Amino acid sequence: MSPVRSCSRTACRQPAVFTLTYVYADSTAVLGPLATYVEPHCYDLCADHAERLTAPRGWEVVRLPSEPGQPTSDDLEALANAVREAARPAKASGEPVGQGVEVGRRGHLRVLRSAQQNLER
């Protein structure tokens, strides 16, 4: 059986039931169910500290629905990664998507080269 994790707040000895993650690029704090694993840039909080959580001016707090004390899969980190990915600017590529010529194969892997296109006008 794994040991009970404590709240990350100084001098608090209550058991942690929520995990707080910051997405600095989006000025967002995400509070969700207790993460499955201890992460270095996440903070475990007890129910009291999670309820009183406030964010700096201009920041948004996203509170994921959860039942305190019921650890679930680590969806919190997946959500934080999705927020980061959505904030990234779209990459403009000169390569056409889905148009390639197979030039090699090894097992189930294929090597594709972009199809040559006539760029003359």
Say if pTM beats, i.e. exceeds, 0.75: no
Classify residue 56: in a domain, yes or no: yes
- Report pLDDT for 17: 93
Residue 31 in any domain: the answer is: yes
| 89-116: average pLDDT | 70
> Using one digit for the tens of pLDDT, what is the confidence trace for 43-95?
999 999 999 999 889 999 999 876 655 545 566 677 777 777 777 776 665 65
How many Cα atoms sit within 13 Å of 8 on the Cβ side? Answer: 16
Asked whether residue 23 is assigned to any structural domain, the reply reads yes
Query: Whole domain around residue 62: which residue ranges?
Result: 18-87
Which one-letter DSSP state was computed for residue 85?
H
In a domain, 92, yes or no: no
**Angle at CA of residue 119, ends 117 and 121, nearest 5°:** 135
Is residue 6 predicted with pLDDT exceeding 90? yes
Residue 11: is its pLDDT beyond 90? Answer: yes
In a domain, residue 104? The reply is: no
Structure confidence at residue 25 (pLDDT)? 87
Q: Which pLDDT does position 118 carry in this prediction?
A: 46
Across the chain, where does the E strand assignment appear?
A: 18-23, 28-33, 42-45, 60-63, 100-106, 109-114
* The pLDDT of residue 61: 92
Instruction: Give the chain's domain count.
Output: 1
